Amino acid sequence: MVLHSVAAERGKWLSPDKQLVATCVSRNNDGTGSRLVLSTAGSPDVGIMLRENDRWITASWSPDSKFLEVTDGSDGHVTDIFVYRVTQSDVSDSDVDQITFPAFGNIVKSAKASGIHVELWYHTPDIWTYDVRWEFVGWAKDNVSMRLLKHTPGAKDKRVTAILKSPIKSKAPNQTPSHVSHE
């Protein structure tokens, strides 16, 4: 479902241009879990649900408001990162296309709703790998690169630079983006 009502707010990330907002709300009636909804700033209670899980989700906008980084803490031993290219749209209808990852669930590949269009441009390799935690470090000055750290028990942390060149084309789970460099 593309449109979703925003309630029980847990976190809010306003885009630097103040046009869009990503809001994290409780997923479950008991207040646990997370659901991330993207909407036009000031819009009445509707948006695109990008991701939900039983733990926590955070987000970070690129300085130019074109990309939304989503950190998904779906398990205490697993953290993955997804990056969406976000544009404003004149489209009034809604649509969603998802990718399904075994043992992880669905994520939005592309979606549109009133005023917004999103496309998945990056995800960390090997989604939902036990004892691998990815950490978003920050955006590079070029606004199309980001710095990540890969934490694996018993191994040295690995620095990764992801350059956001194009949307993920494949519907196949765990497609490793070709535009990633390991330092």
pLDDT in tens, 4-45: 444 456 688 999 999 999 988 888 888 788 888 898 888 765
Cα–Cα dist 48/116, whole Å: 8
What lies within 8 Å, CB to CB, of 52 at 6+ separation is 27, 33, 34, 35, 36
**Model confidence band, residue 177 (pLDDT cutoffs 50, 70, 90):** very low
What lies within 8 Å, CB to CB, of 130 at 6+ separation is 75, 77, 78
Digit-coded pLDDT (tens) for 98-138: 777 666 667 788 888 878 889 988 888 888 888 899 999 99
> Residue 183's closest CA among 160, 162, 151?
160
> Residue 30's closest CA among 47, 59, 48, 8?
8
